[in-house]
Amino acid sequence: MTIGNVIKKYRKNRGMTQEEMAARLGVTAPAVNKWEKGNTLPDVALLAPIARLLGITTDELLSFKDDLTDEEINQYLLKTQKDLESKDFQDVFLSVKEKIQEYPNCEKLIWQAAVILDAKRMTTELSDKDSYEPVIFGWYERCLRSEDERIRNQGADSSAASAFEMGKYNEVCFGLDVAVWEKDATWTAQLMREILESIGTLGDFTKSKLYQHMELKPVDPDFLAGVKQELLKSLGDETFVYMQGNEDWEKLKRDVYE
For 186-250, the DSSP string reads HHHHHHHHHHHHTGGGGGGGGGSGGGTTS--PPPPHHHHHHHHHHHHHHTTSGGGGGGTT-HHHH
Cα 225 to Cα 99, 221, 230, 237: the distances in Å are: 41, 6, 9, 19
Which DSSP symbol is given to 217?
P
User: 56: domain CATH number?
Assistant: 1.10.260.40
Binning pLDDT at 50, 70 and 90, where does residue 48 land? very high
Number of Cβ within a 10 Å radius of residue 25: 15
- Does this model's pTM top 0.75? My answer is no
Binning pLDDT at 50, 70 and 90, where does residue 190 land? confident
**98, 133, 163: which is the final residue of a domain?**
163
Percent of the chain clearing pLDDT 70 (strictly above): 79
Whole-number pLDDT of residue 191:
81
Whole-number pLDDT of residue 209:
47
Percent of the chain clearing pLDDT 90 (strictly above): 22
| 176 in a structural domain | no
Within this chain, do residues 48 and 95 fall inside the same structural domain, yes or no?
Answer: no
**pLDDT, tens digit (0-9, with 9 covering 90-100), for 195-228:** 888 777 665 545 544 345 445 456 677 777 777 7
225-233 long-range Cβ contacts below 8 angstroms, 24+ apart: 227/199, 227/202, 228/196, 228/199, 231/192, 231/195, 231/196, 231/199, 232/196, 232/256, 232/257
Within this chain, do residues 107 and 157 fall inside the same structural domain, yes or no?
Answer: yes
- AA letter at 212: Q
Within this chain, do residues 41 and 103 fall inside the same structural domain, yes or no?
Answer: no
| 24 in a structural domain | yes
Per-chain mean pLDDT for the chain: 79
Look up the domain containing 31 and give its range.
3-61
| 36 in a structural domain | yes
- What average pLDDT does range 76-103 have in this prediction? 89
Q: Count of domains in the chain?
A: 3
